[in-house]
Amino acid sequence: MRAPGRLRALRAFVLKELWHILRDRQTLTILLLMPLAQVVLFGFAIRTDVTDIRVAIVDQAVDADSKALHARFAGTSRFRIVATGPTTHLLEPLFRRGAVDVALVIPPGLANDLAAGAPARLQLITDASNPNTGSTMQAYAGAVIAGWQADLPGTRAGLQVVPQVRMRFNQTLESVNLFVPGLIALVLTLVTALMTAISLSREMERGTLEVLLVSPLHPWQIILGKVAPYLLLAFANVVTALVAAWVVFQVPLRGSLLLLLGASMLYSLVGLALGVLVAARTGSQRTAMIGAMLVTMLPSTLLSGMIFPIASLPTPLQIVSNVVPARWFIVVVRGIMLKGAGVVHLWQEFTILTAIFLLLLVAATRSFKERLA
């Protein structure tokens, strides 16, 4: 067959795949709406800070100073007093039910001790079953108590070393700014790797792939035809997420849009190669899907720095994270969007992504040939 003819065949094939996707309204709607819904959820609903802390106060003193301490907690917006009582017996059941987060135990004779200069022993109990929020709550409660203490007559203000903290590249720590890059990575992984894996294994399951293989198309053209529409879809998704983030939450784009789109395409290629590899390595749609989830979704969310900082990982997982493409991609997207970084700053990440892509491509081609041989 002459080259132009083959090219025409390829075009026809790509169009067929595209129609396939476009006709499936349901999937298409979800595909296009999902990034939108997620941007909104992350932007409006998800907060990593701790607010509305429920306090129980066990007041064994009931005097002017202990009342002042009550008032301190009642006066903050962060704390809400949900229980008070004279003995510590009430605490255990409250904590067990998860009805309080923090308990303050005030010793008997608080005012007397303070006046006499005897140490007043306050006890602060936190529900530390979640260590993160536990220590945060403890710090907030400690600050309230310190405020109360500073106002006690006779107290001399202590020394202060005040850090003036500047959050570079994201001054207000807006969670949307932080999550949008990760979100783009996640959606791209889903659309490219997962969808390709399933769609390819579906054709293998049905035997339609064999029909295509006896056609005059090259195997690589068939693969290209299968993945090209998903590449297009991935592109649409990046744009949707970016527009949503920008219009609704004014997430900045400080660097080059072109570079960002280029990086997205590179990352999509990685995802597609991974999808082909998974499809070639698994038998049925069901296993392909679970396999794809295992090798894509899990690492892309957990070992990529999207939610949890890479620096927090134990060393073995940090090493593993190096081969997770999403890890590098997220650095690139954050760099471009939040820091305005350019190729000068990001060339290493680009190189690594390209290398991963080439490796996956070789592996995918090889497995695919074995599978069909």
Minimum separation from the CB atom of position 9 to another protein (A): 25
Nearer of residues 211 and 358 to another protein, judged by Cβ:
211
Compare residues 178 and 280 and give the one whose CB is closer to another protein: 178
Q: Least Å distance between CB 166 and another protein?
A: 5
What's the number of CA atoms in the CB half-sphere (13 Å) around residue 362?
5
CB of 357 to another protein, least distance (A): 22
Is 86 strand, coil or helix? coil
**Rounded distance between C-alpha atoms, residue 350 and residue 341, angstroms:** 13
Coil/strand/helix, residue 169: coil
CB neighbour list of residue 165: distance below 8 Å, 6 or more residues apart: none
Query: In terms of CB distance, is 5 or 283 closer to another protein?
Result: 283
Specify the residue, 258 or 344, whose C-beta has the smaller distance to another protein: 344
In the complex with another protein, the residue whose CB is nearer, 50 or 259, is 50
Give the nearer residue to another protein in terms of CB position, either 120 or 217. Answer: 120
| The token pair that represents 253 in the structure block | 């784009």
Contacts 24+ apart (CB under 8 A), 111-115: 111/61, 111/63, 111/64, 111/65, 111/66, 112/63, 114/65, 114/152
CB of 6 to another protein, least distance (A): 29
Give the distance, in angstroms, between the CA of residue 335 and the centroid of all CA atoms in the same chain: 16
Instruction: Tell me the pairing of strands 102-106 and 79-85.
Output: unpaired
Beta carbon of residue 304, minimum distance to another protein (angstroms, whole number):
10
Asked whether the CA dihedral 140, 143, 147, 148 is positive or negative, the reply is positive
DSSP-assigned letter for residue 324: -
Min. distance of Cβ 149 from another protein in angstroms?
5
